Chain A
């Protein structure tokens, strides 16, 4: 699948707002025999752990992906992320319930042809999906998953980690704000629909960013970013 196509699909996905506030679960029975020995030997009580996502985990996403707010992508979409950015695809595993949350991210920069633009987006980490199963929300898993991705982006010399959230999604906005993200710019009519019914032209997105250690001068933090409008074409 072409990367550009993925972006387009994601950016205009009406569920996108929802991706930032949800998630899922499973039991890892899918591991190979030699791993099973390890599991039986070691893990026999119930706790939670943050682990790398495995392709086999894709069979165990019921608790998160049955939720209507979490999109079920084409298999190739997940496998592309697992191939290209394996360290940015993490899960929360509960021994009893299985996978109860995951984060999917990537490292990218805008096409070099855009370098002349004042809106050019340099090398950065991007949160594509963050989801936690309904019964496992408000336990801090979203924060831990995000921190995991931030560490991965930082060690890959990214300038910042960013994500897009609907301007009207206060729950997600507040959550990210609490995790140190701030609005860098408002992408006008980024979403083609507006669930709140306030506008017929669609809904704006907030491009929220959190600087990595490379950004010593905090070039990617902007005060009152909510009032800095750009067009969807500037962020593609």
Chain B
């Protein structure tokens, strides 16, 4: 846009623009990159063409000093005329304008290249083929084309042509050979290859740069780096991987060898390693080739080793050496090296730096070496003594204590230590670290595969050793976490009394410690500290443990890990209470978001999620906790929140925000990759390239694009064209969703706790495929409606890969059900668009299946006694047995999925009935029956929803919910003691507010369904 405006500046301003371009310092490649990269990043191919004539001209004006500025303006005006024609897709006119200029004698290579590009961009095959032929001819012309703008255009035309990757690089290579001192040309070549991920082309450019500009030492390292990238790229051929791997290795080897041994030697060869980043690149290359021993060798060397000026005490290299020793299985050397690092020296100065080396990677190698050197049994006791000395010096060292624990474990596994030794070691560890929250996880790790009895002994000791002093909150938390692990996790025949005792105790202590803290705070005369108020408190964990203990799979649903709705409501009540005191505890908020989703209270889930202020990279790592299937749980906007942002109540805005992040991240990373080369941070660049892949191919990005479009369809009948490329991307997706922000107290051999709080299985590749299919169905219908050409080659093979006949690992039952029908509807839509892939008889069969399916839906939605349908009975919460009380996520998910299918059918009816749209006609009688059925099913949805809403309004929902939180199931014999604690701990008015909001959220969600239109 900016460039376009600049081009249209009055003539008298134009020379300034030329000056800006021609003042590029060719000795500074960054300047060139910086100058050109924004326009390449932000403009389409066609807009770039508008820029190139200016540069073409500017160069001419630079070399032909007699050229006047009025001539400049003439060229600009003429180029703009062509570009305007291209912008308005009038290729014929653009071609005529170019040919007119050529006939007048302006027969430059640039115009020829532009003409070939315009020809190629014609819609018809004849012109396109001519464009290809002319482009190829220009690529092979002798002497080769070597002006930047012509090359630019040729490059971009070749980019759009299939199977010309080699040629794309070759035109630059030939040009560089013709003009070896043209720095800008070789930089442009490098940049094109590097930005496009064409490492091989960029490597050739880097080699050319380092050969033709040997005084710039960085080009040598660019060449090494690019060799490594080719060798490490899965897309490279085996031969290339081997060839470039060897090349990278040889270059790296030479760069290390050239480092002078004498650090005072000032004139080191320019290609010798000079910085830590360059040395890290060498380590990375050696790692990628599994040359672990060589890493150790390099880092032990005098010139580039740990004591060298290059390393300059950077601990990263010590860790690299430790990694190398372990991976090379040099256990003797490894043991001896880390033992010396972790030895308590007699020297005071040395002792003072010992804590800097207290790093788990060192300890880990020590322990691993002991385990592997089984032929030296004395090593175990020797190492144990070594660790004891360290502990004596640094009694608080967690790493050393864990290492000690591990030596006992190793001895236990070898039969040299008894179970009692292990229990004693665990007890000792707990006694020393019980005041730290990590103690639970450390012990759980040690006990992970041990027998129940042993775990019980350790857990019991931990509980017994806590005295209940005012500062014993964290020891108690650790003890209760271990108790959960011991008594609750993974137990199939779990007694309610065990659960409720734990819940009761945790709530009791939460209340007691909170009261204690408040008493302390009130005694403080100083002003309250805002930072502390915003911090989560360790005692929060009591409430979270209590909620987790309640959220156990129902005995009847042990396999599916489904938690009862009563437990969900009670846990929500406890967490809401916690968040009054500690409003920023993200573990509690995330758990609460998931609980509200399961309860079908989408608006509250949205609101709580808003409090996490998720943005930037968190759209990739955190957003899935709310966004997964949200489009079919709560696709409509909730009521606005006072002081809240739109994304906190309008799901479409939240999804758009996420997709904006992915789009801008791509540009940001591209710019960073270019800038990083000048900074020479090669290893970080390598990881940035991987980050770029992960973000580009992110499964979340595709899910959000598909579900945003789904929400648009559900709300308006069709989706917008935006994000179609992301939604329809069929390349393999990368899944890097994180679940680490949830507390997990389960045993190591059990599924993590958050598994049981998922609204359906985690969507993966199969889910993407079926969502793409639905998305495609609507796109085809939209294309027919707007009379756009439809790609008739129906790509259905992926449908066959879906295991739709049974509950698939990443689909809900409703999704499988809908996808089966969408396959049939896509066939119908393609038939309407003119596809001959299916005969009319086959289409009649498909429509017949749809008809049968709708009838089944009618049965599922049929209301008995005006209140209950099969769907309602299996997807709602019952406040009293046998009576539907409130909807769950499953109700909304089924309903909205069904609404989407009905909308597709409605679109088909509409297109079939429109006289203005040319479509293959569908059987009239069948369509009439289907039309009636669709109306009936839609009315059934409304009547079911109305019935549920009436139940919510009529029954004493509020009081029932309050009772449910306090008492759980009325029949439970163990409820009374827990009820007493809950009544004491939970504030009555806050509880009423919570229950009231929950009811309002259900009503709002049901209103959303009632607001849906066909």
Q: Could you tell me which A residues sit within 8 Å of B by CB distance?
A: 17-18, 21, 25-27, 29-30, 32, 34-35, 37-38, 41-52, 54-56, 58-63, 65-69, 72-76, 79-80, 82-84, 86-87, 94-98, 134-137, 139, 144, 147-148, 151-152, 155, 168-172, 195-196
Contacts and interface: CB of A to CB of B under 8 A. Distances in A.
Given A34-B288, A69-B535, 11 more contacts: A27-B738, A42-B323, A45-B360, A45-B364, A48-B398, A54-B683, A56-B690, A59-B617, A65-B618, A66-B590, A171-B531
Contacts of A37: 327
Nearest to B583: A68
A43 B532 CA distance: 35
Contact of B617 (A42, A61, A139, A196): A61
Interface string B652-684: 000000000000110011011001100101011
B288 A83 contact: no
Contacts of A171: 529, 531-532
Contacts of A43: 360-361, 364
13 contacts: A32-B232, A43-B360, A47-B402, A55-B684, A60-B621, A65-B618, A67-B584, A69-B534, A72-B617, A86-B683, A135-B536, A171-B531, A196-B527
Contact of A62 (B668, B671, B687, B741): B741
A97 B752 CA distance: 13
B615 interface: yes
A49 B327 contact: no
Contact of B691 (A38, A59, A65): A59
Interface stretch (B308-316, B718-726, B939-947): B308-316
Given A48-B360, A96-B445, A169-B531, A86 B586 contact: no
A84 B679 contact: yes
Contacts of B617: 58-59, 61, 65, 72, 75
Contacts of B590: 66
Contacts of A30: 690, 694, 736
Contact of B531 (A21, A54, A73): A21
B246 interface: no
Contacts of B530: 168, 195-196
Contacts of B359: 47-50
B406 A45 contact: yes
B861 to A, nearest CB: 41
Interface string B384-411: 0000000000000011001100100000
A62 to B, nearest CB: 4
Which of B441, B612, B665, B687 has the most chain A CB atoms inside 10 A of its CB?
A: B687
A38 B621 contact: no
B704 to A, nearest CB: 16
Nearest to A32: B690
Given A47-B402, A151-B313, A38 B326 contact: yes
A37 B324 CA distance: 12
Contacts of A55: 684, 687-688, 690-691
Contacts of A82: 676, 681, 684, 688
B91 interface: no
Interface string B133-173: 00000000000000000000000000000000000000000
Nearest to A96: B441
Contacts of B531: 17-18, 21, 69, 169, 171-172
Contact of A87 (B290, B314, B403): B314
B276 interface: yes
Which of A51, A66, A172, A196 has the most chain B CB atoms inside 10 A of its CB?
A: A66
Contacts of B618: 62, 65-66, 72
B620 A46 contact: no
B287 A35 contact: yes
A86 B277 contact: yes
Contact of B535 (A79, A134, A169, A195): A134
A45 B621 contact: no
B363 A59 contact: no
A64 B554 CA distance: 34
Contacts of B621: 59-62
A189 B690 CA distance: 43
A77 to B, nearest CB: 9
B958 to A, nearest CB: 32
A48 to B, nearest CB: 6
Contacts of A80: 672, 675
A74 B668 CA distance: 9
A120 to B, nearest CB: 26
Contacts of A147: 356
A83 B681 contact: yes
Contacts of B312: 155
Which of A54, A74, A83 has the most chain B CB atoms inside 10 A of its CB?
A: A83
A66 B681 contact: no
A87 B276 contact: yes
Contacts of B622: 62, 66
Interface string B619-633: 011100000000000
A85 B356 CA distance: 21
B534 A49 contact: no
Contact of A46 (B288, B316, B356, B402): B402
Contact of A74 (B313, B326, B402, B616): B616
Interface string B692-731: 0010000000000000000000000000000000000000
B326 A41 contact: yes
B253 interface: no
B319 interface: yes
Contact of A47 (B360, B532, B584): B360
A62 B740 contact: yes
Which of B363, B402, B621 has the most chain A CB atoms inside 10 A of its CB?
A: B621
Contacts of A45: 360, 364, 367, 402, 406, 445
Contacts of A152: 314
Contacts of A169: 531
Nearest to B742: A62
